[in-house]
């Protein structure tokens, strides 16, 4: 089955700096890779996702890159702000047609942005 590794487990950056979180996956059949942001006591919020037919996707200050050959994908947050502080989870799954494989999550990265 799929296994997702996420690094680092904690990340502290200064406001305005960039933050990068990396994930690797084991199942080459996986083709959908979402990223979620979870604030304390709340459910995960989808912030960006990427499918295996593209290598990069960007949405304002957030970008995700995917390297299918190496089976790793990364989240990039630029110009970080204190409100970016949260736990971020990567996930991978096989997504085909009208069906959806189970999301396999990484262990999470606690991002702290210091003002």
Scan for tokens 């604030």, then name that residue. Answer: 39
Q: Is 89 in the site for another protein (CB under 8 A)?
A: yes
Q: Is 29 in the site for another protein (CB under 8 A)?
A: no
Q: How far apart are CA 110 and CA 99, in angstroms?
A: 31
CA nearest 57: which of 46, 47, 49, 68? 49
Residue 83 phi, psi (nearest 5) = -70, -5
Q: Is 70 in the site for another protein (CB under 8 A)?
A: no
Q: Is 88 in the site for another protein (CB under 8 A)?
A: no
Task: Compute the least distance from the CB of residue 16 to another protein, in Å.
Answer: 27
Token pair of 76, please? 């990039």
Q: How many binding residues for another protein (CB under 8 A)?
A: 21
DSSP 86-103: EEEEEEEB-EETTEEPPP
Region binding another protein by CB under 8 A among candidate stretches 18-26, 30-38, 62-70, 72-80 = 30-38
Q: Residue numbers of the site for another protein (CB under 8 A)?
A: 32, 34, 36, 41-46, 49, 89, 95, 98-100, 102-103, 105-108
């Amino acid at each position: 089955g799929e296994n997702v590794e996420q690094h680092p487990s904690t990340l502290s950056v200064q406001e305005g700096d960039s933050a990068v979180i990396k994930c690797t996956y084991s199942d080459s059949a996986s083709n959908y890779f979402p990223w979620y942001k979870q604030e304390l006591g709340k459910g995960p919020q989808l912030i960006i996702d990427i499918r295996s037919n593209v290598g990069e996707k960007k949405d304002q200050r957030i970008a995700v890159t995917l390297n299918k050959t190496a089976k790793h994908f990364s989240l990039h947050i630029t110009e970080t702000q204190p409100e970016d502080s949260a736990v971020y989870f990567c996930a991978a799954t096989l997504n085909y047609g009208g069906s959806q494989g189970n999301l396999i999550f990484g262990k999470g990265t606690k991002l702290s942005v210091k003002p």
